[in-house]
Structure 1
Amino acid sequence: MQPPSRRTFLTLGLLLTAGTALTACTDGHGTDSAPAGDQRRPDPDEPVRLRAVAATDTLLAGYDALLPQAPQLQPLRAEVAQHRAALQPTTTSPATPPGTAAPTTLAELAALERRTAQSRLADLGAASPQLARLLASVSAAGVLHTLALGDPAPSAAPAPTPSATTGEPATAFQDALGAEHAAIYGYGVVGARLTDDQQRTDARTTLAAHQSRRDAWQRLLTGTGATPTAAAPGYQLPFPVTDAPTATRLAAHLETRLTTVYADLVAAVPAPHRPLAADALRECALRAHHWGATPAPFPGFTTPSATPSATPTP
């Protein structure tokens, strides 16, 4: 990888979308803003939420079965409980978990986490945009859990090949393309500062993955007759990158910010495109973990107070 030119910087702004609090993305569930006695409107997402909660209850039971001999699982179990609270519908009807034998080993629990993550993605098309965003995030968190449980290669269903789209979804893909342009440049900076051979190989592999994702968005947009967003002539680094530790920090930063981009994309595109955006979210969450980012219970979600404002490069 060649060092960047002096004219070129990486902009934080290209990798940030408007931060949305998790509570704002769950359609207000769990709040009590309606006056007593008011009739709540039916929740069209209720069937999806009930299925998600039932699967989560099965997962919680799996953790509870292993906690006595593996207390180190408590942080993961706590995250799963957070997922349940976010997915809980307004209905008081209990969700009935499917009959599944409780796992007896960490490998079995990892397999259960993997199956549960897949079940989230199966309901993307049936959910409202914001619930689909939440499901994709929770699914990505489940994949990270499989890593923590010892699964060396967590997998997900293959994402569909992108197809043409028009209107507002095309704008969302333009935003994703712009973020990939910035990430591609960012990995040029990362690779130029790394000294460990394996890390440099990892950076080249990741760069190729982002180039492939960029090319996919360009093909999709060209198919609509739109002109794909070009890479910007200048980007600003979010912090100085002068050595290997700051290079790995930049890589983790890039992937973490991209999880937000792709979580937003899940909510912005039509149902047929959601698995593609969710797949990108999952991959970025895994790469962020690889580069040392602190795992989050809801990958891709930020709070307004945690989202710095971005100033375009002059």
Structure 2
Amino acid sequence: MDGDTRAHGSRVHLPPVSTTRRLFLVGGGAALLGAVAGCGLRLDLPQPPPPVPTRRRAPDEALVIGVVRDLDALLRAWPAASKPAVLKQSRSLLTELRTVLVGRLTNEGVPTEEITSAPSTAPAAGKLPVGELRKRLADLPSAHLEATTSATAETRELLTAAYGTIFASAERLGAETAPAAETSPVRPQLAERTSPLVYAFEVVAAQSSGTQRRQALGTLERLRGLERLVGRDDAASGWSLPFPVTDQRSARRLGDTVLQRAVGGLGEVLGAAPTTESLDDVARWVAAIQLAADTWGLAPVAFPGMEQPDR
């Protein structure tokens, strides 16, 4: 056909896309991606999760948890028998020890599950006969004793008082927990605290009669036995009483006062760097004072010589 520029079988040539159009297409794609991203869809790789914050450990955490777990093991194995009454009393004291120590940990931010999941150094057992129970109470784990020597002063004092209560509970059930006959670095300080008690109860006994005198003599006998073990203070004759004692009523008050004050200031006795022998000696001395207080008729306490710790 005339005027027809197309030829059969020939290739049709399209005009090239201009540079301006190519830029438009690219720009349009970028705008589309921006719109998708603006809809809240992430096109990049997910970010790694933030690191879990590391919990700051409480002072002496592992040691206190270990003592709590051993108390747990003892309480689970406690004999079901309700007699003698001292079983119930001792269980109550150990339960209070546990409550206060757990409270100290949780107040410092230790999760409860970390306290209850920690292993115990005490052997697992079912309900124990009384003879085995008193043996367990009297055998303070050496690892606890050693760790306590390097603990903070507050923990040392708290746990030494607790160990004294555990030893006293063992002796109430028939174990022997008196301080060893061998000397330790703190014997002079223990003698300074024991001999005034002996003197005070000599006065109490002299000013008492009837049941009170019998209690005073029994307490005096215990204190003299303790003095024979830890030694007699060189200044044994130079003490003054805190108030005049002229009758049975003031004698009762004197006995209560000196026994309740006796184990105060355990930190001063232990010093800044106690040995395991020193710490063991002090804990057994605390137990002996508690047992003397039993004879005098005072109710036992979980942390003798200390203000009630925060729970």
91, 111, 117: which one aligns with 2:110: 91
- Whether the 8 Å CA contact 2:138–2:175 is kept in 1: the answer is no
Counterpart of 2:119 in structure 1: which amino acid? T
- Whether the 8 Å CA contact 1:256–1:284 is kept in 2: the answer is no
| Per-residue deviation, 1:152 | 3.1
Change beyond 3 A, Cα 1:144–1:252: farther
| Per-residue deviation, 1:275 | 2.9
- Whether the 8 Å CA contact 1:162–1:276 is kept in 2: the answer is yes
Is 1:41 the counterpart of 2:56 in the alignment? yes
Counterparts of 1:41 and 1:160, CA distance in 2: 41
Higher relative contact order (CA 8 A, sep 6+): 1
Q: How many residues align?
A: 241
Counterparts of 2:290 and 2:229, CA distance in 1: 17
Q: Percent identity?
A: 19
| Per-residue deviation, 1:197 | 7.2
Is 1:259 the counterpart of 2:263 in the alignment? yes
Change beyond 3 A, Cα 1:177–1:55: same
SS in structure 2 opposite 1:95? coil
Counterparts of 1:99 and 1:233, CA distance in 2: 47
- Whether the 8 Å CA contact 2:186–2:269 is kept in 1: the answer is no
Counterpart of 1:154 in structure 2: which amino acid? E
Alignment of 1:1-314 (within 5 A): 41-63=56-78, 66-67=79-80, 69-70=81-82, 73-88=87-102, 89=105, 90-92=109-111, 93=114, 94-97=117-120, 98-116=122-140, 121-148=145-172, 151-155=173-177, 158=180, 161-163=183-185, 173=189, 179-180=193-194, 182-194=196-208, 200=217, 203=220, 206-207=223-224, 209-210=226-227, 213=230, 215=232, 234-237=240-243, 240=245, 242-243=247-248, 247=251, 250-261=254-265, 263-266=266-269, 268-272=271-275, 273-303=278-308
Change beyond 3 A, Cα 1:276–1:186: same
Query: How does the TM-score come out when normalised to structure 2?
Result: 0.61
Runs of 4+ deviating beyond 6 Å:
none
| Per-residue deviation, 1:296 | 0.6
Counterpart of 1:70 in structure 2: which amino acid? S
| Per-residue deviation, 1:266 | 4.9
Counterparts of 2:163 and 2:186, CA distance in 1: 26
Q: CA RMSD, aligned part only?
A: 3.9
SS in structure 2 opposite 1:54? helix
Counterpart of 1:57 in structure 2: which amino acid? D
Change beyond 3 A, Cα 1:299–1:132: same
Counterpart of 1:203 in structure 2: which amino acid? L
Query: How does the TM-score come out when normalised to structure 1?
Result: 0.60
Counterparts of 2:71 and 2:203, CA distance in 1: 40
